[in-house]
Structure 1
Amino acid sequence: MNLKELSAILKLSQTTVSRALNGYPEVSEATRERVNKAARDHNYIANTRARGLATGRTHAVGHVIPLSTKHEVVNPVFTDFIAGASEIYSQENYDMHLSIVPDTNEESAYRNFASKGSVDGVIVHGPVENDPRIKLLQDIGMPFVVHGRSNAELDQNYAWVDVNNKRAFERATQFLIDLGHERIALLNGLETMDFAMRRRHGYDSAMTAAGLPINPDFCLSDEMTEEYGFQATMALLKADQPPTAFLVSSIIVGIGVRRACNEMGLVLGKDVSLIIHDDELSYFRNGHAEPVYTATRSSVRFAGRTCAELLMEQISDPDCAHRHVLLEAELIIGNTTGPAPKS
């Protein structure tokens, strides 16, 4: 069915039907509901190209992903984020353009999006301190939302969705301290990235407040893989004074920690304690009826949906206020933490 046929069924002009389907404010709510119901009933799907010519929009969103292997979005977290964002894209009848580029070509990718008019907006992933992509997108006038934040000075100049990473890891560290742990290892993500930097600040803050020394040998930073968790834990457990607890930035790293403890004959929750960050990943569930790992939990899929919602706002009204969504992580108690061993 095309627009002309749908308009004939409704006995409305094609202009009115098109405006109702595209959310124009001058169309009454009653008419909009009637048109949308008829479109659903008759399986009408708008011609995206024709709609783009009429509205000046492409109805597409861009995601630029660097090719580097040492990048936090090249993992299942990104997949779940996209799954969440795609729920909103589908509702709004938007397509997604995924551009995989060499690290040195990120700026060109964003400029190409703008010059070709191939997308209406973009979501920025993996922000770093003083991220140059933010100023670039502001300069070229491209609507965008950042998943995360760049730094405190720029927080208010753009729309973002982030987890309160500092608070989450401060709370997790304090929980381990309350259990009597003093030698606590942090297996963090790449600390060039904002989320990992904030998590490190949370860990440092809790250790300092408790009057505990921060051992630099216990604070590691790398791409969040299972192998990283395994190799780092094996090395740390062989130290003269090994950690009695581990705080790690991903369930994926936590699986590596668990493997290392198994190889060393150590029982999690008894000999060694472990807290992970749980993104509620679709294929790495932290238990079903009850959590396996003690964790700071925040759904990355929900963050994807929220980023997409904010981006739709920016596209609909480029002059709208930049919204900031700070998600608080829950502290979930599982089977991997217990009192510090006495010896």
Structure 2
Amino acid sequence: MNLKELAAALNLSQTTVSRALNGYPEVREETRARVLAAAKAAHYAPNSRARRLATGRAMTIGHVIPLTGRAEMVNPIFADFLIGAGEVYAREGYDLLLSMVTDGDTDKAFRQLAANGSVDGIMVQAPQEDDPRIALLKELDLPFLVHGRTGDALGYNWLDIANIRAFRRATDFLLDLGHTRIALVNGQARFDFSQRRERGFREALAARGVSPLPHLMANDAMTESFGYLSAAAMLDGPEPPTAFLASSVIIAIGIRRAAADRGLRLGRDLSVICHDDELSYLNNDVGGPAFTATRSSIRAAGRRCAEMLIDLIRDPDQPPKQELWDVDLTVGQSTGPCPTP
């Protein structure tokens, strides 16, 4: 069945059917639902080339990834986000353009994408404090959405989790168990999410009159080896921690390995809380939660970010959309009372 035949079967114009299939806001919701149901029943799939010509859009979303060798985004967390976003892109008829660029060439890549009309919008991830990409994309008048946020987060579209509240709550949990020598093993300090998580950690300690210990704080790319090496150094050093707060389940797995090397059992000799992102291939729930964790699905975030960005592309004059998600704290097997000296 082609577009002409589908329109005739519905007794609608081809223009109305095309606009309903492509998500134009001026189409009434009841008409859109009727068209989508008929298209699904008839196994109708619009020709992508014709769709581009009809809409004047590239029907493509861009993700520009800088190759630094230490990129936070080239990891299982980024992969799960991409899967979630990709589900929505496919459902709405959009392609994904993944552009890997040399560090320092991000501006050039954005300008080229805008000049060529290669994409209808850009997904921005791992924002830094006062991230220059936001000002540039505003200048280029290219629709974009930020997964995360920066600074005061005004005047643009973003979705983020409540990092400060999450890590304040996690730190309070450890303090309630009697821990005061708590280590923070965090992502790279230049990223906004790392700064917010450290702020939550510090606020919780300050509220209890506990001072953070500089030798028990570390920042780097969130890898298993970083977790292992950081924990090994801290556990072997002066005033070793009795608890760890990790910015990723990947880091926490490294901490667990370092603890095992020293004959320490999590939940009895050492406590660990992580942020786990509910990763598909590192499931924290099998056999009961292995780690006590602050939890928020990165795949769900990818889906919602994609929905928000496509909505922005279809209606670019709407006010900025901003969503802040709270996270759950799930108690697992990795935490327990502070051991008696």
Category of TM-score, reference length = shorter chain:
over 0.9
Q: CA deviation at 1:67?
A: 0.9
- Structure 1: segments with no counterpart, 5+ residues: none
State how far apart, in whole Å, the 2-side matches of 1:115 and 1:91 are: 27
Counterpart code for 1:40: K
Instruction: Please tell me whether residue 292 in structure 1 is matched to residue 284 in structure 2.
Output: no
What does residue 145 of structure 2 align with? 145
C-alpha contact 1:62 1:98 (8 A) present in aligned 2: yes
What is the aligned partner in structure 2 of residue 119 from structure 1? 119
**TM-aligned CA deviation for residue 239 of structure 1:** 1.4
| Superposition TM-score, scaled by structure 1 size | 0.96
- 1:46 counterpart = 2:49: no
Query: CA 1:11/1:318 → structure 2, altered by over 3 Å: closer, same or farther?
Result: closer
RMSD: 1.5
The answer to whether the 8 A contact 1:173-1:207 is kept is yes
Deviates more, 1:15-24 or 1:127-136: 15-24
SS of structure 2 residue aligned to 1:247: strand
Q: Any idea what the Cα deviations from partners look like across 1:293-329, whole Å, max 9, x if unmatched?
A: 0111111111111111110121011111111111111
Identify if the C-alpha distance between structure 1 residues 320 and 28 changes in structure 2 by more than 3 Å, giving closer, same or farther. closer
1:216-227 to structure 2, matched below 5 A, reads 216-227=214-225
SS in 1 for 2:154: helix
Partner of 1:67: 67
Gaps (5+ residues) in structure 2?
A: none
Cα gap change, 1:36 to 1:244, in 2 (>3 Å): same
1:280 and 1:298 in contact (8 A); partners too: yes
Deviation string 1:265-294 (CA, Å, 9 cap, x unpaired) is 001111111101110000001023521101
Measured in 2, the distance between the counterparts of 1:30 and 1:339 equals: 57
Runs of 4+ in 1 over 3 A off after TM superposition: 7-13, 23-34
Aligned to 2:202: 204
Local SS of the residue matching 2:263? coil
Q: Are the structure 2 counterparts of residues 218 and 30 from structure 1 closer, same or farther at C-alpha, using a change threshold of 3 Å?
A: closer
Query: What is residue 324 of structure 1 aligned with on the other side?
Result: 322
Paired residue secondary structure (2:119): coil
| TM-score normalised over the length of structure 2 | 0.96
In 2 relative to 1, CA 133–29 (structure 1 residues): closer, same or farther, beyond 3 Å? closer
Shift of residue 340, structure 1, vs aligned partner: 0.7
Whichever residue aligns with residue 104 of structure 1, its letter is G
| 1:156 counterpart SS class | coil
Match of 1:7 in 2: 7
